[in-house]
Structure 1
Amino acid sequence: MKILIIGGTNFIGPYVIRHLNAMGYHDITLFHRGQSEIDLPATVKHIYGDKQNLEQHRAAFQSLSPDVVVDMIAYTETDTELVLRTFRGITKRLVMISSQDVYRAYGVVRQADTGSLEPTPISELSALRNNRYPYQDPAKDPDEWCNRYDKIPLEEMVMNDPYIKATIVRLPAVYGPNDPQHRLLHYFKLKPLRDSRSVILLDEGYANWLWTHGYVEDVAYGIALAITNERATGRLYNITEPQTSTMLDFIHAIGEQLNWDGEIIQVPSGHLPDELGIPLRTEQNIIVESNRIREELGYREAFSFIEGLKKTIDWELAHLPVGIGHDYDKEDAMLNELREAGVICTDKHS
């Protein structure tokens, strides 16, 4: 099987390539700009170029004649139209990496979709967002990616294309080594835990919110299965961890890895300042199940939750972004104010 991967040099992609190689698929070509230094198997071939100029490389793609094309960086309708146009007559199958932000539950959490809560667990058949372009920012240029990003129309385009058969893989919030978003830092209080803060303030709704995640090496294995299994043709898959933890439990698990023995103070929603509060509708849980890919493609995790978490923590602490910090004095002052007002409850870490 000849596999062409568009993108694939940042975070998840290299893990996908290593899984494919370990599974015995050695005819892998990577189309990318050549701007990232990555450690890949020596058998991987490279075509250098920008996705915006994809059609300029059509002759090289025709010569390669890939059995499957994998689009790791499908973000806008313009990009996807270009991919479909370029590879018509060259390949019969496209695997597109999508996101679980397509579900209506995600729109409800972000307070963009109004009305009743979505039932959980969320499957591939669950309702999609009513609102479109979820990250639009009027303050930015209309051509900025955030104003044109939406996976929903991209999924519709590839699944309805008459010339190329598609597989869609919807990813959860992915964490792991090389995560450019540093999710453990921004969502799970890793730095205060590392700094041995005796008290951490946490919005009460956020503490008890359930949000499905996935460890990067396991997620990449699921993608590799979707690429290499013909049964995946025409199918759509969620990849998720088998159990969804509350944010509080996730933070406690990190604390245990760091031998942290502090206390988390849950603050009723609305009492924390903007920089500490969570502008989400946390009564809407995002619990996504992945029964389909497990039953149809035999997907299973290779790493336990704790194994993946430990590998991520080690990497994050070795790669703290420059300038990352917390205003602990302000948090201490807020803690005293909340105690004086009698609005806090305590969850002692044990």
Structure 2
Amino acid sequence: MMKVLVTGADGFIGSHLTEELVKKGYEVRAFTYYNSFGTWGWLDMMPAEILKSVEIFSGDIRDPNGVRMAVKGVEEIFHLAALIAIPFSFHSPDSYVDTNIKGTLNVLQAARDYDTSKVLITSTSEVYGTAQYVPIDEKHPYQGQSPYSATKIGADRLAESFYRSFETPISIVRPFNTYGPRQSARAVIPTIISQLLAGKKEIKLGALSPTRDFNYVKDTVAGFISIAESDRTIGEEINIATQNEISIGELASEIISQINPDARIICEEERLRPEKSEVNRLLGSNEKIKRLTGWRPQYSLKEGLQKTIDWVKENNAIYKTDIYNI
């Protein structure tokens, strides 16, 4: 199988994607964020027999020279490296511009220079903002309701410009909310689960009324790979979505019922987004990905939640349940 580069391989989705690509026989170079501790993020928790097959490249996506070194010699790129926490983008937007926009530019420039056969640019459902109609298809207008989403819109449009200007073979992959093992507590599902498993009786959350379309991480990864393996996806923007929605309040109640029915939800003010920034409804259309690739979600929300709960039970010590993780 071909040699591929996964940027952001040390992250939540990136680590699962790296693992699945190795299992499918790909030769994988994993771009991880350099740090002096010598850690490789979530890759450190990958099974040893998988990790030994991975070529680790530690660098910084903001550095064009390092990115060029990482891209040299690979046939395809899965570009996932990004800053993604929305609350952090409120007070550090410069870092999001440097990482999400300039980092994507570095990948696109290197891919163009080395004539890479395909580049998958990771987008986010947050680029749509609150749904103007549902299900949200790929023609839905964009709305930057946070500095994070604005930088992802910018990165997507850069990718489109390279396709139209230089015929760079890109696909824009747009997952709706992904969850599962190895997700940080800045996301709502591990926040709820880790608080419950730590014995908390009051579960602290932000807004409860917004709805989300949740993908189990293995379904998201399967979507990435199906888009990479299809010749029909070049130049396209493609949602990965279940086409089902649930409110955060309903989600929390479901998880509470599975772990500790006596717990109750507390809406904590510091966890609320600014009013005009909150994305109130996300429900994605998956018609395009099904048409172009044949992908279908394999996990129900109930199944995915149970697998996530089981994993957090074994690893709850890594979560700081007494603080608000932004």
TM-score of the aligned structures, taking structure 2 as reference length: 0.75
3-state secondary structure, aligned to 1:88: helix
Structure 1 equivalent of residue 136 of structure 2: 122
Determine the C-alpha separation between the residues in 2 that align with 1:48 and 1:273: 38
Structure whose CA Rg is larger: 1
For the Cα contact (< 8 Å) 2:181–2:311, is it kept in 1?
yes
Mapping of 1:33-182 within 5 angstroms? 33=34, 35-36=39-40, 37-39=44-46, 40-56=50-66, 58=68, 61-62=71-72, 64=73, 66-74=74-82, 75-90=99-114, 91-105=116-130, 118-129=132-143, 134-135=146-147, 150-161=151-162, 162-182=166-186
3-state secondary structure, aligned to 1:76: helix
Structure 2 equivalent of residue 246 of structure 1: 247
Structure 2 equivalent of residue 304 of structure 1: 300
The Cα of 1:84 is off from its aligned counterpart by 1.9
Determine the C-alpha separation between the residues in 1 that align with 2:129 and 2:231: 29
For the Cα contact (< 8 Å) 2:18–2:30, is it kept in 1?
no
The one-letter code sitting in structure 2 at the alignment partner of 1:120 is: V
3-state secondary structure, aligned to 2:245: coil
CA 323–246 in structure 1, closer or farther in 2 if over 3 Å, else same: closer
Structure 1 equivalent of residue 89 of structure 2: none
TM-score of the aligned structures, taking structure 1 as reference length: 0.71
Determine the C-alpha separation between the residues in 2 that align with 1:45 and 1:306: 35
Q: Deviation digits for residues 206-236 of structure 1, max 9, x if unmatched?
A: 4443212221121111112122222221111
Q: Deviation digits for residues 300-323 of structure 1, max 9, x if unmatched?
A: 223332221012123334325565
The Cα of 1:120 is off from its aligned counterpart by 1.9
Determine the C-alpha separation between the residues in 1 that align with 2:45 and 2:302: 26
3-state secondary structure, aligned to 1:313: helix
The one-letter code sitting in structure 1 at the alignment partner of 2:316 is: H
Q: 1:285 aligns with which of 268, 281, 284?
A: 281
Q: Percent identity between the aligned chains?
A: 22
CA 233–315 in structure 1, closer or farther in 2 if over 3 Å, else same: same
Q: Deviation digits for residues 245-282 of structure 1, max 9, x if unmatched?
A: 22233122212321x3337689xxxxx66247675577
Structure 1 position 215 matched with structure 2 position 219: no
CA 55–202 in structure 1, closer or farther in 2 if over 3 Å, else same: closer
Q: Deviation digits for residues 76-104 of structure 1, max 9, x if unmatched?
A: 32212222222223113211111111113
Structure 2 equivalent of residue 315 of structure 1: 311
Structure 1 position 26 matched with structure 2 position 26: yes
CA 160–60 in structure 1, closer or farther in 2 if over 3 Å, else same: closer
For the Cα contact (< 8 Å) 2:77–2:118, is it kept in 1?
yes
**Runs of 5+ in structure 1 lacking a partner?**
106-116, 136-145, 267-271, 327-350
> Number of matched residues?
291
**Runs of 5+ in structure 2 lacking a partner?**
83-98
